[in-house]
């Protein structure tokens, strides 16, 4: 105890000595400051006595300075950082949808440069605007110019620029629906100069679009895979599953997960394949789990189930099992975020995003993953400018990640009601991954939902069908477009194709029946409508269309009314509002006609306005 007391005594003595020295040093400083303040106060009193306006002016000036400091401080905290992803003024105009101005800017740039990269940029803009002939002509001109420059100045000087140029040309050829040109030129380039992953990705898409599946398979076998890159392995996994090589694709994705469980690309590959063929993906994953009980496949299946509210609880059960094994990473947090979001638990969803962000910052706070997740968080909090800033930072950190361009930024811009700029981002995303099924569908949906360009929508839905000819959703979307455009013959042709793919789809028979009614081919129409009804006797739309036939063709008011009454009584809460409105209007009109019929069945009835439903 004496030793402890002695220790405190020495410490106390040393501290007193230290503070005495500090006081000695600071005393002159304090005296100078004190004297200065007294002199300033004395001058202020004298000035105030001489002029009564001095004090108000000083008070107002001081207040203004204080307010200015506060404004600047708040602004520093609230101003969103402007982030630029463009390399030149032409690109800036392109992303602003100022296409004519962008073309003019690229023309000026091309005048100063023998290398034809700006001509290819112009060709891409013409392609985007639907002027595909003009685009392809420019691409062929660019090829001639490129060959001449290489001949005159040598290939080595332009090696890096050439890969980018060739790939840009190939991608635009494919977007112009000129797959033979893309394949011929791409294969020639690889033969002459060796493999380029970007060119192989574009060729992969061109092969599928031309139904050269054997060539697509061969390409995946010879793809120059970086086995140390989880990202690159995920890309190859995606390509394999798109050509129904499920075993190979899922095994590759498992390898990517085992290499780096935090790689976002893994989880977005699952989302893209979900859009491609959800049923096959679930079936294949369930089989893998039965065979191996591997955690990777359980995580992938959880990711699938997390995609919608109906299966979110299944996802939660699988994630709980994974959690119990101590597996905790960015991907797991991301799946938990999706589960919570689909179950409308916003606070919980944000909390899981925060967990993912914190993990990502520990790995690399400047990575594309960190910025992508920060953007998602800002988007969920309705901070759209902040979300856009982080999304652009994500692109600058990794400009190959197609989802930043084609999923994240479009969602932000839609929330900002800025629809015009979206098209350029979708196009850039598809250039990064021409085969990305989810991006192709999203671009087609954009044309139908936001800009009403049915020709472009049909083109991209057509590409999607080349990947998956058995997708009933795509057929339905294309048929809807034909009907809206009043192209009945094309709609009938597409429906007959769809029935060959899926003979059990009641909607197809019902729609085809309605179209035959429109063409006046009533016997075929009622035959198909009855088939649709036999597949679902509670379907109000089939009942409505049968009622239309009995009233409008056979003049059987009573039978038509019975059908419409049954349809009216079977209207469900989940039925589309537009369809519901037509059913109710039809029922009310026919009910009135039926009541008149009961009073006098010999007169002519007003049957105008009774509508078919497709």
Half-sphere exposure of 484 (CA within 13 A, CB side): 14
pLDDT tens sequence across 300-333? 999 999 999 999 999 999 999 999 999 999 999 9
Instruction: Report the pLDDT averaged over residues 549-554.
Output: 94
pLDDT of residue 603: 74
Instruction: Report the pLDDT averaged over residues 195-199.
Output: 91
Q: Which residues are within 8 A (CB) of 47 and not within 5 positions of it... i.e. 6 or more apart?
A: 54
pLDDT tens sequence across 330-362? 999 999 999 999 999 999 999 999 999 999 999
Q: Is the pLDDT of residue 515 over 70?
A: yes
| pLDDT band with cut points at 50, 70 and 90 for residue 64 | low
DSSP one-letter string for 503-559: TT-HHHHHHHHHHHHHTT-HHHHHHHHHHHHHH-TT-HHHHHHHHHHHHHTS--HHH
Q: Which two tokens stand for residue 487?
A: 């192209």
pLDDT of residue 73: 45
Give the residue from 550, 534, 552 showing the smallest Cα distance to 542. 534
Encode 372-406: b = buried (16+ Cβ within 10 Å), e = exposed. bbbbbbbbeeebbebbbbbbbbbbebbebbbbbbb
CA distance linking residue 117 with residue 110, whole number of Å: 8
pLDDT tens sequence across 250-303? 999 999 999 999 999 999 999 999 999 999 999 999 999 999 999 999 999 999
CA angle 393, 398, 403 (to 5 degrees): 85
Q: Which two tokens stand for residue 204?
A: 């992969």
Do 403 and 426 contact (CB within 8 A), yes or no?
no
pLDDT tens sequence across 410-442? 999 999 999 888 999 999 999 899 999 999 999
Percentage of the chain exceeding pLDDT 90:
71
Q: Is the pLDDT of residue 139 over 60?
A: yes
pLDDT tens sequence across 596-606? 888 887 777 77
User: E-assigned strands of 244-327?
Assistant: none
Instruction: Report the pLDDT averaged over residues 222-227.
Output: 96
Q: Is the pLDDT of residue 21 over 60?
A: no
pLDDT of residue 46: 56
In order of 136, 371, 433, the CA distances from 438 in angstroms are 26, 22, 10
CA distance linking residue 498 with residue 278, whole number of Å: 18
pLDDT of residue 194: 87
Average pLDDT, the chain: 88
Q: Which two tokens stand for residue 150?
A: 């290489």
In order of 60, 62, 63, the CA distances from 41 in angstroms are 18, 15, 18
CA distance linking residue 555 with residue 532, whole number of Å: 22
Give the residue from 412, 408, 448, 414 showing the smallest Cα distance to 428. 408
Encode 115-139: b = buried (16+ Cβ within 10 Å), e = exposed. bbbbbbbbbbbbbbeeebebbbebb
Q: Is the pLDDT of residue 5 over 90?
A: no
pLDDT of residue 32: 59
Instruction: Report the pLDDT averaged over residues 467-473.
Output: 85
CA angle 101, 105, 108 (to 5 degrees): 145
């Amino acid at each position: 105890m004496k030793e402890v007391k002695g220790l405190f005594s020495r410490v106390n003595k040393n501290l007193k000595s230290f503070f005495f020295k500090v006081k000695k040093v600071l005393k002159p400083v304090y005296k100078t400051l004190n004297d200065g303040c007294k002199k300033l106060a004395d001058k202020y009193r004298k000035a105030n006595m001489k002029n009564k306006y001095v004090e108000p002016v000083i008070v107002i000036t001081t207040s203004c300075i204080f307010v200015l400091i506060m404004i600047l401080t708040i602004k520093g905290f609230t101003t969103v950082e402007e982030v630029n992803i463009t390399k030149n003024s032409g690109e800036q105009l392109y992303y602003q949808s100022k296409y004519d101005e962008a073309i003019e800017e690229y023309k000026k740039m091309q005048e100063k440069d023998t290398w034809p990269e700006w001509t290819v940029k112009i060709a891409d803009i013409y392609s985007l605007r639907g002027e595909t002939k003009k685009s392809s002509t420019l691409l062929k001109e660019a090829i001639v110019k490129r060959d001449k420059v290489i001949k005159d100045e040598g290939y080595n000087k332009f090696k890096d620029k050439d890969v980018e140029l060739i790939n840009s040309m190939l991608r635009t050829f494919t977007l112009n629906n000129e797959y033979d040109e893309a394949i011929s030129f791409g294969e020639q380039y690889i033969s002459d100069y060796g493999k380029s992953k970007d060119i192989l990705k574009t060729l992969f898409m061109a092969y599928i679009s031309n139904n050269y599946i054997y060539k697509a398979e061969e390409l995946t076998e010879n793809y120059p895979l970086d086995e140390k890159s989880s990202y690159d392995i995920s890309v190859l996994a995606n390509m394999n599953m798109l050509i129904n090589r499920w075993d190979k694709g899922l095994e590759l994705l498992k390898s990517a997960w085992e290499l780096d469980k935090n790689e976002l690309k893994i989880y977005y590959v699952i989302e893209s394949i979900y859009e491609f063929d959800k049923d096959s993906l679930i079936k294949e994953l369930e089989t893998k789990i039965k065979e191996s009980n591997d955690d990777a496949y359980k995580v992938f299946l959880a990711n699938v189930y997390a995609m919608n509210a109906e299966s979110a609880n299944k996802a939660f059960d699988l994630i709980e099992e994974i959690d119990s094994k101590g597996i905790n990473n960015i991907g797991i947090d991301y799946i938990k975020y999706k589960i919570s979001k689909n179950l409308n638990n916003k606070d919980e969803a944000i909390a899981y995003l925060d967990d993912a962000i914190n993990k990502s910052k520990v790995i690399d706070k400047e990575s594309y993953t960190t910025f992508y997740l920060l953007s998602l968080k800002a988007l969920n909090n309705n901070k759209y400018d902040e979300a856009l800033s982080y999304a652009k930072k994500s692109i600058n950190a990794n400009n190959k990640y197609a989802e930043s361009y084609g999923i994240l930024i479009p969602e932000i811009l839609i929330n900002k009601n800025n629809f015009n700029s979206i098209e350029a981002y979708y196009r850039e995303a598809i250039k990064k991954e021409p085969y990305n099924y989810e991006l192709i569908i999203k671009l087609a949906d954009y044309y139908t939902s936001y800009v009403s360009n049915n020709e472009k929508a049909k083109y991209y839905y057509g590409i999607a069908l080349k990947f998956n000819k058995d997708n009933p959703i795509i057929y339905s979307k294309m048929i809807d477009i034909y009907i809206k455009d009043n192209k009945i013959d094309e709609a009938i042709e597409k429906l007959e194709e769809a029935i060959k793919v899926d003979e059990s789809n009641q909607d197809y028979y019902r729609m085809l029946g309605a179209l035959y009614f429109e063409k006046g081919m009533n016997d075929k129409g009622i035959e198909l409508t009855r088939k649709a009804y036999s597949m679902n006797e509670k379907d109000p739309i089939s009942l409505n269309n049968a009622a239309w036939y009995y009233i409008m063709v056979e003049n059987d008011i009573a039978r038509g009314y019975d059908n419409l009454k049954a349809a009216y009584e079977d209207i469900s809460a989940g039925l589309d509002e537009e369809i519901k409105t037509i059913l109710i209007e039809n029922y009310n009109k026919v009910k009135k006609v039926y009541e008149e019929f009961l009073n006098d069945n010999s007169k002519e009835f007003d049957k105008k306005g009774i509508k078919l439903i497709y």
